[in-house]
A and B are shown apart, each in its own frame.
Chain A
Amino acid sequence: MTIATDSSKTNTGTKAEQSIRMYRRMVMIRLFEEQVNELYTRALMPGLAHLYVGEEAVAVGICEALKPSDYITSTHRGHGHCVAKGASPDRMFAELLGKEAGYCRGKGGSMHIADPATGNLGANAIVGGSAGIATGAALSAKRLGTGQVAVCFFGEGALGQGVLYEVMNLAALWKLPVIYVCENNLYTEYTHYSETTAGDILARGTAFGVHAESVDGQDVRAVHATAQKLVDRARKGEGPAFLLCNTYRYTGHHVGDINREYYRSKQEEQMWKTERDPIKNFATWMIDQKITDATKLQTIEDEVRAEMKAAVEFAIAAPYPTIDEVDQDVYA
């Protein structure tokens, strides 16, 4: 089946086209997750679902600065990264439902979507688990002279994992084209990051001589501008970077995390949703700049909603893998 997806290439076109493209991608992520929530609450989706709602500007701003051949590694909260890097929602939903048409033939699920065609080395359900993989991909890019850049997405919870510091040290020593993107959504599962994170986060990069910056993760233009600078720098052989994106997770750690008052207030959630929403604020800016108008943005939303609905229908109708698949692909 064919689904009308945003086929425009990233990193091309006028500034206005780029803005519209980033807006559409953010809406795609928001509405993708809306469908995931729906599937989960209707008990159609097995397993767990960790939603990216609220953090859309990070994935979209970063991936807008990447080429299709550049690499990313993603996390358990990874749907946004996959969409932003160009994954197709129908195959993503199929994967979430464990169907053979999914990106991993149903064997990976929500937390393991991988796609060589879009440079997605895989979402990883071990916190910090992909830091080595992303840095190794950067080593390949440098050794083979391909000009590719690798982006390692991770949440602030991964700051507690030692392997991150081992590979940042190596990336700095070897001047590898890798960017460590720390998405600080404030909560390490159910614990505020201030209870788990000592000292200055940026210093964790600069201690190794890794160029480090922070950015407002709710501002897609700021994320993109900073990411573009760091990607260009890495591509030119100037070495790794650490980008701290300050953001917020609108929903629980996973869909089932409903009663959250013991770790954060409803007022706090409301403040982020009304005042700091990356999609609303970007829409307002684009309208102010006369890049577009409210009607056109509504059309985009309607198109994306239809696309997501069709993608979900595709996934629900798609067959499960046959049982003889169970021991296929253990070895190449």
Chain B
Amino acid sequence: MPEVATRELTFAQAVREALAEEMRRDSRVCIFGEDVAEAGTPFKVLSGLVEEFGAERVIDTPISEAGFTGMGVGAAMTGLRPVVDIMFGDFLTLTMDQMVNQAAKVHYMSGGTWKVPMVVRTTLGATRRSAAQHSQSLHAWLSHVPGLKVVLPSTPYDAKGLLKTAIRDENPVVFFEDKMMYKLKGPVPEGEYTIPLGVADVKREGEDITIVATSSMVQVALGAAELLEKIGLSAEVIDPRTTWPLDEKTLIESAKKTSRAMVIDEGYGRYGVTGEIASVIAEGAFYNLEAPVKRMGAMHVPIPFSPPLEDVTVPTDQTVFEAARALCGKA
């Protein structure tokens, strides 16, 4: 087998590389959003793309999220493959008619005749000291709607492979990036690869408890797993990678194996992703479970600005460790 060279890339570099490769591969792929061109977004994720692909394909828009997302829908229906950039996930609220009533429904309402191969890239995650309107994780809203797919990468490797797949998908896909993770480094192989949507990844194998974690919470879960190991508990950390399609089988099988499960996600705990996944596990693995499925999400408060307040609104290595320990009867 030939050796595949691997290098360390940051999460942001992996996203950028996926976009650049897909734009080279397919001239129909274009990017639009606020400050995506010369600025490369405030997070600098897109730096260099306008220089390679030109302002015809990396297009700065006015601050009109509903307008340019709606244009993404129309452009996708008629031959382009737009990657729409919504700078902060909080601004998805402005695009909701376009996402929920238009993008998600065009294919079904038209009896399968029109398609919307569009990607919306956006961000989630708190603890950036950005307060209540720049810190939310609203992926549950989109996951709720039939017709949309929702991707939540947690590593540079996953981000690249999943984004390339999302761009090639014939459906509207919402791609959430944790803005606190852009500088996270990880191994990414040289050359072409993609990761299918709807396939969970076991980030760490274990025997005593299953911790299902998404996006920003995967690193937290892995941190908690280290702490658990020190007290003799072996945690299995599973990242579903996409909330829809959802790899129910992998989650259920892991819970059956370990007999205990918890779900961590940075969205609000109430009526959210954790509730849905916990229910999938409870229904699928009920007779193998030795404890109720535990959920941990963001506190049910607007994200506060003050750092000590903000820090307690999201799960941490320590709080997840303590909850897992309690679930295993070792509190």
Contact of A163 among B70, B82, B107, B114 (CB under 8 A): B70
- Encode contact with B along A122-162: 1 for CB under 8 Å, 0 otherwise: 10101001111111111111011010001000000000001
Complex Cα spacing A302 to B74, Å: 39
Contact of A169 among B64, B114, B117, B147 (CB under 8 A): B64
The answer on a CB contact under 8 Å between A106 and B72 is: no
Q: Is A105 interfacial (CB 8 A cutoff)?
A: yes
The answer on a CB contact under 8 Å between B109 and A112 is: yes
The residue on A at minimum CB distance from B106 is A122
- Encode contact with B along A240-269: 1 for CB under 8 Å, 0 otherwise: 000000000000000000000000000000
The answer on a CB contact under 8 Å between B109 and A107 is: yes
The answer on a CB contact under 8 Å between B113 and A104 is: yes
Complex Cα spacing A158 to B139, Å: 29
Q: Is B71 interfacial (CB 8 A cutoff)?
A: yes
Q: Which residues of A contact B268 (CB under 8 A)?
A: none
The answer on a CB contact under 8 Å between B98 and A132 is: yes
The answer on a CB contact under 8 Å between A136 and B107 is: no
Q: Which residues of B contact A141 (CB under 8 A)?
A: 78
The answer on a CB contact under 8 Å between B114 and A330 is: no
- Encode contact with B along A66-105: 1 for CB under 8 Å, 0 otherwise: 0000010100000000000000000000000000001111
Q: Which residues of B contact A330 (CB under 8 A)?
A: 107-108, 146-147
Complex Cα spacing A328 to B146, Å: 12
The answer on a CB contact under 8 Å between A121 and B77 is: yes
Q: Is A114 interfacial (CB 8 A cutoff)?
A: yes
The answer on a CB contact under 8 Å between A114 and B66 is: no
The answer on a CB contact under 8 Å between A136 and B74 is: yes
Q: Is B214 interfacial (CB 8 A cutoff)?
A: no
The residue on B at minimum CB distance from A106 is B111
Complex Cα spacing A132 to B79, Å: 15
Q: Which residues of B contact A108 (CB under 8 A)?
A: 109-111
Q: Which residues of A contact B76 (CB under 8 A)?
A: 136
Q: Is A323 interfacial (CB 8 A cutoff)?
A: no
The answer on a CB contact under 8 Å between A162 and B108 is: no
**Can you list 7 pairs linking A and B with CB atoms under 8 Å apart?**
A102-B111, A132-B98, A133-B102, A137-B77, A139-B74, A173-B62, A330-B107
Additional 8 contacts, C-beta under 8 A, given A132-B98, A170-B67: A71-B78, A104-B110, A122-B109, A126-B101, A129-B101, A135-B70, A139-B71, A166-B67
